[in-house]
């Protein structure tokens, strides 16, 4: 199939359609509107369900209902809208039904702005809603990668009966890139042993997240944890660049990781032994691989478009074995490769000590600007 120019949001929408999306529910919010707009004609054209709901709480509860039928269901939104969905996301996690969520992150907190940001990492990866649950989160760095991860997201959601989030930012949603779309997959509605569809010829199914009997709720939490541990063991995804002989490793996800690749290439051209580690599954996070990289690296540079939210996960893997540096831009500011190149050069010049607090040192540098 030929490569075509597609806008990120529309490509994601079409990729979801081709992955067998049966129902989409959404609400307008910038910078993800094109997902909603695209699917408003594409879904009815294919005889599939589309509703523009009255609010994000309504959206996520429509998703919840559709997910209870076992259908491939998705919604998309951007940061403030995702906050409004947290109640429903917790119920979906607690009921153990599958869904795909696309978060096209923007600057925050509050109303913030509509510029690209990675400020929702903690909210998305660490749960966001109430209770003990662990959503699967994939963070592509290009439109092609997002398109390729779409069928994966549905498969993971259904395999682990969990929320699978595609975490991107406004830049990936809004830009255009040449991509190759996958072939159209047929919609296959499996007969799940848990889904509601009317109890014709079988025992009835009840889907709920209420367990007033406390030991049963504990058992439910353990069941969720068991499935999560399986995902941790089997669903680690990342991409490595120039790591074979790298003495210095830059770590970044999504757009920050993509910008870092330009910086790493430039630093290589200058003769520095620098590589890039880009987590794709940011939850489950590739702790083990990061830990292994400590053995070969003299120092890590973590780059993000937030105040160091993924940094905490990297630190949990590094455990002060090697010095680390952090560089973040906030509130919708996109870093330039030059800024990362400078950070790489500084790191090589002065790697610091393993006990240094990289977030603190970064903050001091930001304030001294």
Contact set with other proteins (CB under 8 A): 22-23, 25, 49, 51, 53-55, 57-59, 61-69, 71, 73, 87-88, 91, 95, 196-201, 204-210
Q: Which is nearer to other proteins, 59 or 250 (CB)?
A: 59
Closest to other proteins by CB, 223 vs 353, is: 223
Place of tokens 């549905």: 154
| 346-353 LR contacts (CB < 8 Å, sep 24+) | 347/248, 347/299, 347/301, 348/248, 348/272, 348/274, 348/299, 351/248, 351/298, 351/299, 351/323, 351/325, 352/299, 352/323, 352/324, 352/325, 353/323
202/288 with CB nearer other proteins? 202
Distance CA 359, CA 260 (A): 18
Q: DSSP letter at 106?
A: B
Q: Which is nearer to other proteins, 207 or 361 (CB)?
A: 207
CB 67 within 8 A of CB 59: no
Nearer Cβ to other proteins (46/207): 207
CB of 58 to other proteins, least distance (A): 4
63 vs 267 by CB, closer to other proteins: 63
Residues 6+ apart with CB under 8 A from 331: 107, 108, 112, 113, 115, 117, 119
* Cα Rg of the chain (Å, integer): 21
Distances (CA, A) of 12 to 74, 109, 142, 192: 11, 25, 11, 27
The CA distance from 44 to 26, in Å, is 14
Least Å from the CB of residue 201 to other proteins: 7
In this structure, how many other beta carbons lie within 10 angstroms of the beta carbon of residue 154? 22
The H or E element spanning position 321 is: none
Residue 153's nearest CA partner among 24, 262, 12 is 12
Shortest separation between residue 103's beta carbon and other proteins, angstroms: 19
Backbone phi, then psi, for 94, in 5-degree steps? -70, -25
Which is nearer to other proteins, 3 or 202 (by Cβ)? 202
Tell me the closest approach of the beta carbon of residue 136 to other proteins, in angstroms.
Answer: 21
Q: 46 vs 49, which CB is nearer to other proteins?
A: 49
128 sits in the region (left: phi over 0; alpha: psi -120 to 50; else beta) called left
β partners of residue 7:
176
For other proteins, the closer of residues 49 and 236 by Cβ is 49
Residue 74: phi, psi to the nearest 5?
A: -145, 155
Task: Sort 275 into a burial class: Cβ within 10 Å, 0-12 / 13-18 / 19+.
Answer: buried
Q: Residue 44 or residue 178: which is nearer to other proteins going by CB?
A: 44
């Amino acid at each position: 199939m030929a490569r075509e120019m597609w806008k990120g949001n529309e490509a994601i929408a079409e990729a979801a359609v081709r992955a067998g999306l049966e129902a989409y529910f959404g609400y307008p919010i910038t910078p993800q509107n094109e997902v909603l707009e695209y699917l408003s004609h594409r879904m009815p054209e294919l005889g599939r369900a589309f509703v523009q709901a009255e609010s994000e709480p309504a959206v996520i509860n429509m998703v919840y209902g559709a997910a209870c039928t076992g259908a491939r269901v998705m919604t998309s939104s951007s940061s403030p809208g995702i906050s409004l969905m947290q109640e429903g996301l917790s119920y979906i996690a607690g009921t153990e039904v599958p869904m795909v969520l696309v978060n096209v992150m923007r600057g925050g907190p509050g109303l913030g702005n509509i510029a690209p940001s990675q400020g929702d990492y903690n909210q998305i990866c660490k749960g966001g809603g109430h209770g003990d649950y662990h959503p699967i989160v994939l963070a592509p760095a290009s439109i092609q990668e997002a398109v390729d991860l779409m069928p994966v997201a549905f498969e993971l959601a259904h395999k682990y009966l969990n929320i699978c989030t595609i975490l991107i930012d406004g830049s990936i949603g809004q830009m255009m890139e040449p991509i190759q779309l996958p072939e159209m997959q047929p919609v296959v509605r499996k007969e799940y042993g848990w889904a509601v569809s009317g109890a014709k010829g079988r025992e009835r199914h009840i889907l709920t997240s209420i367990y007033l009997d406390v030991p049963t709720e504990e058992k439910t939490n353990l069941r969720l944890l068991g499935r999560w541990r399986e995902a941790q063991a089997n669903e680690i995804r990342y991409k490595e660049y120039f790591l074979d002989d790298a003495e210095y490793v830059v770590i970044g996800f999504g757009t920050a990781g993509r910008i870092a690749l330009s910086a790493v290439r430039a630093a290589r051209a200058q003769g520095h032994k620098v590589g890039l580690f880009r987590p794709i599954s940011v939850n489950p996070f590739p702790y083990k691989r990061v830990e292994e990289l400590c053995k070969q690296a003299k120092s890590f540079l973590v780059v993000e478009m937030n105040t160091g939210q993924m940094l905490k996960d990297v630190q949990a893997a590094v455990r002060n074995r090697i010095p680390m540096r952090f560089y973040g831009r906030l509130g919708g500011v996109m870093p330039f490769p030059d800024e990362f190149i400078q950070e790489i050069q500084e790191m090589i010049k002065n790697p610091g000590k393993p006990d240094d607090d990289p977030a603190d040192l970064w903050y001091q540098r930001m304030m001294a600007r």
